[in-house]
Amino acid sequence: MLLDLFTPSVQHALDLVGIFVFAISGALLAVRKNFDVFGMAVLAEVTALGGGLFRDLVIGAVPPAAFTDLGYFLMPLVATVLVFFLHPVVERTQAAVNVFDAAGLGLFCVAGTTKAYEYGLGLTSSAVMGLATAVGGGVLRDVLANEVPSLLRWDRDLYAVPAIVGATMVVLCLRFDALNPVTSGLAAVSAFLIRLAALRFRWRAPRAWNRRSSAREAPEDQPSA
Task: Name the more confident of 79 and 219.
Answer: 79
Confidence of residue 132 (pLDDT cuts 50, 70, 90): very high
Confidence of residue 126 (pLDDT cuts 50, 70, 90): very high
- Three-state DSSP class for residue 154: coil
Residue 159: CA count within 13 A, CB half-sphere? 26
Give the separation between CA 138 and CA 159, rounded to whole angstroms.
10
Confidence of residue 154 (pLDDT cuts 50, 70, 90): confident
Burial category of 84 from C-beta neighbours within 10 Å (exposed 0-12, middle 13-18, buried 19 and up) = middle
Confidence of residue 221 (pLDDT cuts 50, 70, 90): very low
Classify residue 158 as left (phi > 0), alpha (psi -120 to 50) or beta.
beta
Work out the average pLDDT over 123-152: 93
Give me the pLDDT at residue 181, please.
87
Percent of all residues in the chain with a pLDDT value above 70, rounded to a whole number: 91
The predicted-structure confidence for 23-63, as pLDDT tens digits, reads as follows: 998 998 899 899 999 999 999 999 999 999 999 999 999 99
Q: Is the pLDDT of residue 220 over 60?
A: no
Average the pLDDT over each of 1-10, 107-116, 153-162 and give the range with the smallest value: 1-10
DSSP state for residue 6 in the 8-state scheme: S
Give the separation between CA 78 and CA 26, rounded to whole angstroms.
12
Cα Rg, the chain, nearest whole Å = 17
Q: Is the pLDDT of residue 213 over 80?
A: no
Give me the pLDDT at residue 5, please.
59
Start-end of H helices in the chain: 8-32, 37-59, 65-68, 70-92, 94-118, 123-144, 160-175, 181-201
Give the separation between CA 36 and CA 53, rounded to whole angstroms.
24
Give me the pLDDT at residue 1, please.
46
Percent of all residues in the chain with a pLDDT value above 90, rounded to a whole number: 64
Give the separation between CA 75 and CA 24, rounded to whole angstroms.
10
Confidence of residue 79 (pLDDT cuts 50, 70, 90): very high
Q: Is the pLDDT of residue 188 over 90?
A: yes
Sign of CA dihedral 175, 178, 181, 186: negative
The predicted-structure confidence for 92-123, as pLDDT tens digits, reads as follows: 777 877 887 888 899 899 999 999 999 999 99
Q: Global pTM?
A: 0.86
